[in-house]
Structure 1
C-alpha cells in the first residue's frame, strides 16, 4: 500500500484545485491535498504541517510567484515546488526552473502531473537522504575532532597513491610547529625522526606495507622544533583498493614522553631499591612491613618472608624501649619524617648501630599512603672512627702515642706537677747512625728495629709515664715524677742501655745500635710542653756532637747555639734565592813543569754588607738540610761557565775541579744533569774534573762504580779528594775508574819534620803510581813541603805557597802575572 503524502496546492480557482486533486487520486496517488488561495493561508499552512510537495499556480491574485517561491525555499530548502499553470510560456517556465522550481505542468494537459510528482518525491527523498548522510558525516567528524582534541592526539593521513600526507594541527603542534610550517610530504615525517630511530622505523614501515597486515603500531622519537626529543606512539591502519593494494595509511601520534620519563624513573627507582647498599623497607598504614630490598636482608639477616606484615619494632635491640619507638612514629606523623641513630639487632642476635630514616609517602592530596624506612649499618663506620681516632693519636708503626697525644699527655702531666709542686722530665731519644741500618739492611729491617726499640722502652717506663714516637728514629718519654735531676739521668742511661742491647732480626741479622738522649726538666727548663720538648731536642743534638751514645741536660747556651743554627739555615735558603754565593779559584800547579794546569772551584758565601763566610761554617748545615744539592748544582754551572770563558780568552788551563757532595752523587739523574750543564756552558767534558771523597764512594758500594763509569763515559775526569782521612784502601779504590788521588792537607802539613806523615805520604804516592793514578797534594805552604813532594814523584799540588783561592777576576790577573812579561 502506497504511503499517503501531504500536498499543498496554491490555487485561486476552487474548480482547478478540485480538478488537480481528482487527477492525482485517479492516477493512484494517495495524496492528502490542502488548498491555499492567498499569502495568509500559505503562511498558516507552512506553519501548520510537514509537506511533501507544493503545487502552485503561477497567476494567483495578490501573490507574486517569485516571492512565494523564495518564501517556501527559505523555510524548506528541499521541499519540491511544481508549477501547474495554463498561462506561462515555455521560455518563462525555463527561467522559473532555474530559480528553484522543480518542474512545470500545463493545466490543460495533466498527463505529466503524476509522473512529475512521483519523480520530484523520489528526488526529494534522495536529497534528504544525502542531507542526512552529510549531516551524520559532519557530526561524526565533529565528534572525531572533539575526541582527538580531548585525547590530545595528532592525526595523519597518508595517500599512498598521490604520496601526499595530511598532518592535523595537533600533530604539528605537539612538535612545536604551526600551520603552514610543514610540507604535506612523507619526507617531512622522516626528517623529523630522531637520527637513531630513522632507519629502524623506515625499515619496519616498509615491511608492513609489503605484508598482509592492515594494522601497525610504532614507537619512535621525533625532534621538537624548540629542541629536545618527544617519544611518540603511532598506531595506524591501512585501507586497500578493490585489487587489495595499499591505498591509504591513517594513524595518530600519541605523545608518550611523560610516560617514558615516568617509566625510566620507575626503573631507576626499582634499580636503586634493589641495588642500593642501604636497607630499605616499606611500611603500610597499619604498621606492617610491605616490602624490603636485598640489602635489608643482608644487613639484618632476616629473609623477606620472615618480616612481611610485621612491625619494625622487632629490629630494635632494646625491645623494652617502647617509649622510644612511639616517639619515632609520633615525629613521623607530625613532621612527615624522622631520622637518628638507633640500635638494631640482627637475626643472629648481634646488636649493631644504625642510622635510621623514616619518611611518610603521601597521595596527591598529601594524605599518607605508606611509609619508607632506610637504615645504614654504622658498624664499620664506628670501627673506622675508632681506628682513625687511634691513628690520629698513635704512631702506626709502633703503636706508641704520636706528637699530638704526647702534647696532650705532657700538658696534663704539667698541670698535675704545678698542682702538686713536683718536677717532671722530658727525655728525647735519637738513635745514632740509624740511617746505616736502612741503607744496608733495607727499610723493612729498619721498621722492625724501631718496633723492637719501642717495645723495650715501653717495658722500662712507669705506669704513669708516657712514651711517644715523633717519627723517624726519635722517641720521647715523659716521666711524671722526678725527685731530682739524677733520677732523670738514671732513666736516660737506662734508655741508652736498653737500646744498646743487641737483637736479632727475623732475617737473622744481628743489630746493635746506640742512642743519644737529651733531658729537659720542669719547671727548670720551661713552663710549656712545646718548650720542654724543644729544649730536650736541643740537648740531644749536643749529646750527638759530643760523641753520641750518651745523654745531656739542657742548658741555655744550647738554645742560643740552636737559634744560630736556625738563623744560618734560613740565611742559606735566602742566599740561594738571592745568589749570594760566589766561587773562588785556587791554582793547581804541575811539579814537573811548574805551569798552572788547572783550578779548583771553591764556594764562598758573601752576605750583603758582611764578610765572606767560609764553607767550613755552612757546608755541613747545607748537607744536613739537603740544600747542598741545589748549591752544588749552582757551583757546577758557574764553574763550567767560567772555565769556558777563560778558555775563550786564551788562558792555558787543562781543567776545572769541582767537589761533588754525597747527596749529589746519589742523584739518579746526575749523569743527565752533568751532560746538560756541559752542553749549556759549551765546556768540553775533558775539561771538567769531579772530586769525590772516600766516604762518598764507600757509602754506595757497587752502585758507586756504576755511577762513576757512566760519568767517565761522558769524558769527565774523576779524582779522590782528601785521601787518607777515610777508611778505604788503595786496593779497594782500584775497582773504580779514577784518574787522580788528592793527598789530604792533614798529612802534608807535618812533612817533612813528622816522620809518620812523611812515610804515609811517600807510601800513598808510590802506591798511586803503581795504580797509574796521578797524585796531587793539598795544603802546600812551605818550600820544604814542595821539595819533599817533588822528590817523591808527586805530580801536582795546590796551597797558599802558590796562591790562596781567588775571585775570578783576581785569578785572571794572577795568571797574567804568573805568565811574566
Structure 2
C-alpha cells in the first residue's frame, strides 16, 4: 500500500490550484474592467470634448450671428463686449474677431498683445495648440450672403485633461476595489463551492491510497462536484466491496495454498511412508491386476516391480487355502467392506511364507470403488513361534503328548459327539507305581527318559483316533470312544495298557520295572463333563492303587464315599478360619544376578484337627466350589500383612509378595476394592502386592475380568501369569491384558540346560517376555546350572529349592536378613 511519501507537496498542489484560479479570475477581471474603463474614459473624453465643442459652437455661432452689424458699423466697443463676454467662460482661453482680411477687430488674449500681433499670435497659438493644450474654432460672420469675417475661439483643454485624469484616478480606484471585492467573493465562493469539495475529494483519495475504505466523502451539492463525490462514494463502496471480496478470496487462496501445501506434504509423507513401510503394500484395479507394489513387497516375495505389475496376486498363492476362502474374501471386497485375514503364500524362490493382510476398497469422491489396497505383513516367524507356543501350550514338552488342557478340550468334544451320535467315552487315568524310585535312584534326567519310554508303550497300545495325554508328573490320561456294541473292549484295552508296562525298562544301562494303576470312568454313566469324568477316573485309579497296584478299576457307586469325605472337608473348611488352622508359608523370590531376595510367593497350608495336613490341591477346589475361597483369601491377605509388620524390610528396594488368586475372585463384587485396600496397607510397609493368575483365566476373555485386572493394575498391583507355557497362552491373549510378570513353569526348568527342547522353549519364552516388557520369574530352580542358564537368557528372578523351600513366618524372617538385599 502506498503512502503520502510517494506524493510530495500535496497541500501545495491545492494552494497552487487556488492561486491559479485567483490569477485567472483576476486577469479576466482586470482585462474586462480595463477594457470597460478604457471604453468609458474614451466615451467620457469624447463627451466632454463634444460638450466643449458644442458650447464653443453655440457661443461662436451666437457671436457670429450678432456681430455683423457691429462689424459693418465698425463698432469696436460692441465687439469688445462680445469678446469680453466670451472670456468669462473658464474654458475659453482666448477669443478674436477677424475681418475678411484676417485682421483682428477685437480680441481677448492671455497676453497683452497689440492688434497687429493678433494674427501672428493666433497663427503661433494655432500652430502650438498642442503644446499649450488649446483648441481653436473658427466661426464665419456673414451679413446676408457676404462674409464679413470670423470669430476665432481658443478653448483650454487642460481642464478637460485634468478632469479626465481625476476621472481615470477615481475609476482606477473603483475598479481596483471592485476587482478585489469580486476576487474575494469569487475566492470564497470558489473556496467553499469548489476548493473545499476538492480538498475532501483529495483527502478521500489519500485515504483510499492508504487502504482506508470506511470513510465516505461528505459533499452534499447538486453540482458536478456533488455528483463527483457521489460517484466517488459509490466507487469507494464498490472498491471496498471488491477489496473485501479480494481479501476473502486472497484468504481463501492462502488457505487453499496452505491446504494444498499441507496436502502435498502429507502426500509426500504418505508416499515416503508407503515406500519405506515395513509392511508390503499392493494396489490393484477392480479386476485384481497389480498396479503398484512397494519395495517391501519386492523384498518379501522376491519379485521385482517389473515382474509383478499387471499380474494378479494369485501368482503368490501357496495352494493350501480352499477356494471358498478366496470367494469369501472377494465377496467382502466387492460389497465395499474391509477384509482381514492370513495367507499362506509362495515366494519367487518357491518358499512358503505367511502374511497377515488387510485389504480395503479405495473409493473416489463419489464413493465408487476404483481400486483395492492391500497392506500385508510377513508373519512367518510369528506363525512358527505361535506354532511352538501352541505345541508348548497344548503338548507336554517332554513326551510330546497332549497336555492337560488339550486332553480336557478333546474330552469335551468327545462328550458332545457322543451326545449327538450315541456311544460311550472311556476316560482312562494312568499313574505309574514305582516312578519315584527311578527319580530318587538315577535323578530327574533318568526319570524323564522313563516317562518318554512309558509314553511310547502306551501310545502303541491305543488306536490312532484315541488320545493319550500327560497330565503331569507320572500321570497319563487316555481317551477312548466307541459304540454301545463294543463297550466290552474297554476291559481289553485297559488290560493291554497294564501289561504293556510290566516289561522291564532299560534306563542308563539299568533295568527297571514300572507298573501302573489305572482308573476308568465312562460317559454317560459316570458323568457328562470332563471335570467329573476325570475326577471319577482319578478316584478309581486311587482305588486301584489301594487294591495292590498294577491293575485297573472302574468307577462305581462304592467310590462315591469319597464324596462324603469332600463334604466333611467342606464342613471343616468353614471352621478352619475361626480355629486358626490355616497358616501361610513363604517361598523366597531371588534376583539371579546377585542372589538378593526381592520378595516371596505366599502359599497357604491347612493343618486340620480332624484330617491332619491337607494339601491345597485337595481343599482349594472344594473352597472354590463352596464359595469359601473369598473368605480364605481375605484371611490370608490380612494375616500375611499383619506378620509383615515385624519383618523390618530394607527400604532401599521394593519388596514383592505374590499371592495365588482363584479365577472366581474376578467375578466377585468388592474383590478389586478389597485388594486395593490391602495394596495401600502393603505400601505403607514397603511391600508391593502381586497377584498370580492361571492362563485358564485368560481364556475366558470376559469384559469383567479385563476390567478387574485394569482396576488392580491402576491400584499399583502387579499381575503375573503363573505356570506360563502350560496353558493355551498366545500373543493374541497376552496383548489384551495388563500383564506385568510371567512365571516360567517348572516343567521347562527341569530339563535345562541339558535338554535342547526345554532350552529352546525357555529361551523363546524369555525372549518374548523381554520384548513385551514383562518381568520374568523362573519356578522350580533346583541347580546352579539352571540358575546360570536362566541368568544368561535375561531372566532376572527365580525361586526353587536351590534357594529355599517354602517356610513359615519366623524362618522366613531369618532368611530375609541372612541374604543380601
Higher relative contact order (CA 8 A, sep 6+): 2
TM-score scaled by length of structure 1: 0.39
TM-score scaled by length of structure 2: 0.39
The structure with more helix, counted as a fraction of residues: 2
Larger radius of gyration between Structure 1 and Structure 2:
2
